[in-house]
Amino acid sequence: MDAIALNQANLAQLPANVAVPAYARGAHVASIVHIGVGGFFRAHQAVYLDDLLALPGNEQWGYCGVGLLPHDAAMRDAMQAQDELYTVVERSAAGDSARIIGSIGEYLYAPDEPQAVLEKLADPGTRIVALTITEGGYYVNQGTGEFDAGHADIVHELAHPQAPRCSFGYLAAALALRHQRGLAPFTIMSCDNLQNNGDVARTMLLAFVALRDGELARWLATHGSFPNSMVDRITPATTDEHRALLRDSFGIIDAWPVVCEPFRQWVIEDEFPHGRPAWEKVGAQMTHDVLPYEKMKLRLLNASHQALCYIGMQLGYTYAHEAMADPGIRQLVRRMMDDEVTPLLDEVEGIALDSYKDTLIERFSNPAVCDQLVRIGTEGSARIPKFVLPSVREALARGGAITLLAFTVACWFRYLEGHDEQGREMPLNDPYAARLRALALQGGADATALLSLRELFGDLCDTPPFTQAVGEALASLYGLGARAALEQSVA
């Protein structure tokens, strides 16, 4: 049988083993704007809403996706050609399953149609604006925790408030329109991997808006809502192999499918003054305190991802499951979780930490997902300070161990040099790539130059137990090699 191109007209022709939207897509209103329509959003939040739309009485909800970056043009082309439909393939040892997601009803590409994006955000029917803009998209000075007003994006936005380019610029311009028109601000919902992500979004956006318009900032501070949330689903970047898998195994031609693990979790602070979807009906957990879940996930899952990816790339691995099959890396991850992070965590209602950690090891080791180490290591300048350093600070304050946490930082430093011990390139995708690479090459086995980055390390720059531990670990990575240094760290 020939493969079928994915679009609305062809849904009825898809194979019987592929689930399709069980609702009339045209009847749903795109009342949620989502900025940053990447793989994770499409494998996570859009799937939850797709499940909900299949239940009666939810016609008032739907997504309008917005892309801001130049590379989002390819996403725009793919999504619009497919009537905003796409395929989610869940992969596990038990096999693969595929379903078509229809919860995105519209996609706007901001560089080509900025006014349309602003009008959609300012529309009275837009009740929630959700964000997956990566950890670096909130313009936080990692060393001080304050807003980075000197960032090039922010300098541009303040100079050209009517010609926004970044998410904060669009949010501020749209909020200004709503204020002028007598409308309430939309709820701003961060779905990024940041502890207290809603609070961070509120603090950073208000700091930006205050520089732009003090009255608008006061209005937003009084009437705005920024719920916290915790999101979890391992989602590798889409590759041509994934497209071929979908074509060959399910008979579907999809320009931009998304592949993920079966596991998903969403914990949401229930603060939506203008209404929200009934996410709790489809497996999300609504709560008034997301923090314990966030802290557990960021410090165990996300920090462990950082631990396994940088040493994994240095040892020549490509995927997370390959790295986890290495006994030394597996021991590094488990011992860091057990010995250095778990003592810092509070009890989480409904969660048994030992079982949770067992599940993480199983998820990291899933060979069907093929999660790329390069993807996990993206934007380390934002992820190391968010996922690893909070445990370092808390452990030092309590007199706890930081050996493996410091080894993880040292592995990141070694990775920044750009090549593994066999001379193979380790690609660096980071907004501060040029500066980080220059400091890594300048310092080599000496961590001093990188440890001087106060905007990343803050007070830890002046904390000898941390700087000494990182320095010794980096010296061993260069002097002994990655394998011997790893064995030494877990001995």
pLDDT at 319: 97
Residue 203 pLDDT > 90, yes or no? Answer: yes
Which tens digits make up the pLDDT trace of 169-196?
999 999 999 999 999 999 999 999 999 9
Do 106 and 119 form a contact (C-beta atoms < 8 A)?
no
Instruction: Tell me the pLDDT band of 349, cut-offs 50, 70 and 90.
Output: confident
Which tens digits make up the pLDDT trace of 49-96?
999 999 999 999 999 999 999 999 999 999 999 999 999 999 998 999
Which tens digits make up the pLDDT trace of 14-61?
999 999 999 999 999 999 999 999 999 999 999 999 999 999 999 999
Token pair 């597996």 is found at 330
Say how far apart CA 374 and CA 309 lie, in whole Å: 7
DSSP letters spanning 359-426? HHHHHHT-TTT--BHHHHTTTHHHHIIIIIHHHHHHHHHHT---HHHHHHHHHHHHHHTSB-TTS-B-
Which tens digits make up the pLDDT trace of 314-342?
999 999 999 999 999 999 999 999 999 99
CB within 8 A of 333, min separation 6: which ones? 304, 307, 308, 324, 361, 364
pLDDT at 391: 98
pLDDT at 1: 61
Closest residue by Cα to residue 178 from 221, 137, 120:
120
Closest residue by Cα to residue 441 from 465, 417, 422:
417
Percent of the chain with pLDDT over 70: 100
Write a three-state SS string for 132-148.
CCCHHHHCECCCCCCEC
Which tens digits make up the pLDDT trace of 294-321?
999 999 999 999 999 999 999 999 999 9
What average pLDDT does the chain have? 97
Residues 428, 434, 437: CA angle, nearest 5 degrees: 65
Say how far apart CA 45 and CA 253 lie, in whole Å: 23
Closest residue by Cα to residue 323 from 370, 261, 359:
370
Q: Mean pLDDT throughout 257-262? A: 98
Which tens digits make up the pLDDT trace of 122-174?
999 999 999 999 999 999 998 899 999 999 999 999 999 999 999 999 999 99
